[in-house]
A and B are shown apart, each in its own frame.
Chain A
Amino acid sequence: MTIPCLSVENASFQYDADRLLFHNLSFQLYPGEILTILGPNGAGKSTLLDCISGIRKLLSGNIKIDDTDLSQYSRKTLAKKISYVPQNHTQTYEFTVREYVAMGRAPYISVWNSPSEKDYQLVDNALAQLGITRLADKIYTQLSGGECQQVMIARSLVQQAKIIIFDEPTNHLDYGNQLKVLRQIKHLAQDGYSLIWTTHVPDHALMLNSKVAILERNGIWKTGLASELITENQISQLYDAKICQTYVEKAEREACIPYRL
């Protein structure tokens, strides 16, 4: 019986006393698994991700990584276990892509040092792995949205953490780049990483055929396989819209799309 790399038990959290964001939230994640979290705006998905990565503390419940409670890890060690790819946001300063990605090595660099040749070698490897070596000397703030996303993923890779969290990675991307990110998530899972990510598009979960979790506005949490949890009823009720789910022969997969407007 393998130990899950991430285990969340009976987690609950609230910002203010009158509204519990989520409660009795539990799930496990094993190496090579993808967890897609769906849920309406404001349900608390980002907060949950913050709790898992140790940025916020749960009200109650516990989170274990490799069977050790989160609180037992130092900040740096935790950063070697979990990495976080943030939503696309503007950076103030004009670092080059290489310098920016090198910051992912922070958990391995003591406070008196800066990245070594070996660290930069890992940076170059990550850029090559994602096919963005041509961006290495470009200024980060001058990249397009899709390129920024790739660079942030590269930063996560050099952190060498086995669990990667993506906070709504497809939000600011064009359609092609969205699919590119999905493909990358799939490949990373095949390479043994465990991934948690949030999306507003239920069809994405079906494309990845991953574990799915739904966090509803009232704090209800459901988990299951994509095939079980993503049903017409569930999605229609979740987003208050008429959703159709069917097998599309030409695309060779189950798809979840809205009915005619």
Chain B
Amino acid sequence: MKSSKRIPLWLLIAITLLVFCWGMCWGRYQISIHDFISVLLSKVMSIPETWSQNTENAVWIIRFPRLCGAFLVGAALAMSGATYQGIFQNPLVSPDLLGVSAGACVGASIAILQGWGSAAIQILALIGGLSAVGITTLIPRFFRNQSNLMLVLAGMIVSGFFSSMQGLLKYIADPDTQLAQITFWTMGSLNKVGMNDILPVLMPMLLGMIVLVSIRWQLNLLSLGEHDAKTLGVNVAALRGVSILTATILTACSICLAGTVGWVGLVIPHLGRLLVGTNNKYLIPASIFLGAAFMIIIDNLARNLTGNDIPLSILTGFIGAPAYALMLLRQRSQV
């Protein structure tokens, strides 16, 4: 895309900050912008306290972690989606391609069936997701066929298998308590996210984002196809391996925080391409803030639209699917 037509990154960052502030202020417990900024500043300088303890709690204990979680989850899923779409030269893939979601769901379901707490659910979800992708990457090696297609097929096999396992776990779950908990977990929610949930995954997620941002131009080369990339001197196996590993870690950590959230990884990269073009040099950074802003908006709606927390996947689907249709409509001449 010509640089003149590209949406500038600072604009996307500004929008993200705006919806972040909106999220901080909007809620059952209204916080004015003045109070919100004062509470933030009070951490770095001394300001006369003009707000109540309730406000302080609402900001630091409830909303700030939740919004940070939304930022991280949205950014991570969007980046992973863009990365996978580049690696597999297919704009229809999402981060679930290699089975991370299916594996995480099984891990979480096992923890829920055992009656363990949220920390255990998160850990088992992480293990489940990473194991599933691990198996997916071993299958091509076993078949001695390291092509992209083989990897995708392996992902289908593993996802299918883990989905069935998930079905079995739901079947034996107690319909009064456990089944509901499993179902809500798989639909995604940020409603109980606190700083002690965010801090453990913060480092891996930030590292993952830094890695992908650093190698983002190389992803363009992968999208040319293996043969072309090799003739251009790219170590395709290594680059693909690092990208898949990083994207998987980002996705697995997001699932840890919020459960499985659909549509973000698929749709946000497309929106990014419409706004900044295909070049990953601009698309990856754009995906971070588009994904983050989108997720923050969704979470704001999730917690405020009704009395209860609406699961995230419901909203991402309701908003994401029509949005995707609109994007395709706009691009229909090129499809």
Contact = CB atoms under 8 A, between A and B. Distances in A.
B88 to A, nearest CB: 9
Contact of A109 (B86, B217, B235): B217
Interface residues of B, number: 31
Contact of A93 (B2, B223, B230): B223
A86 B227 contact: yes
B32 interface: no
A79 interface: yes
B230 A75 contact: yes
A237 interface: no
B215 A112 contact: yes
The residue in A77, A103, A137 that gathers the most chain B C-beta atoms within 10 A of its C-beta is: A103
B233 A79 contact: yes
B281 A114 contact: yes
The residue in A83, A84, A106 that gathers the most chain B C-beta atoms within 10 A of its C-beta is: A106
Contacts of A109: 217
Contact of B233 (A50, A91, A107, A115): A107
Given A83-B231, A111-B215, A92 B221 contact: no
B28 to A, nearest CB: 44
A53 B229 CA distance: 12
B218 interface: yes
A106 B215 CA distance: 12
Nearest to A84: B231
B228 interface: yes
B37 interface: no
B279 A55 contact: no
B239 to A, nearest CB: 8
A83 B230 CA distance: 10
A92 B234 contact: no
Interface in A219-254: none
Nearest to A93: B278
The residue in A77, A95, A115, A159 that gathers the most chain B C-beta atoms within 10 A of its C-beta is: A95
A123 to B, nearest CB: 13
A104 B234 CA distance: 11
The residue in B89, B223, B279 that gathers the most chain A C-beta atoms within 10 A of its C-beta is: B279
A106 to B, nearest CB: 4
B231 A55 contact: yes
Interface in A92-128: 92-96, 99, 103-104, 106-107, 109, 111-115
B224 interface: yes
Contacts of B239: 111
Given A99-B279, A114-B217, A115-B217, A92 B231 contact: no
Contacts of A76: 233
B281 A92 contact: no
A46 to B, nearest CB: 10
A148 interface: no
Given A93-B89, A103-B220, A111-B218, A79 B232 contact: yes
Contacts of A89: 225
A111 B232 CA distance: 13
A86 B227 CA distance: 9
Nearest to B90: A92
Contact of B221 (A83, A84, A106, A112): A106
16 contacts: A55-B231, A75-B230, A75-B233, A79-B233, A83-B231, A86-B231, A89-B225, A92-B90, A93-B278, A95-B279, A99-B220, A103-B220, A107-B232, A109-B217, A114-B216, A114-B217
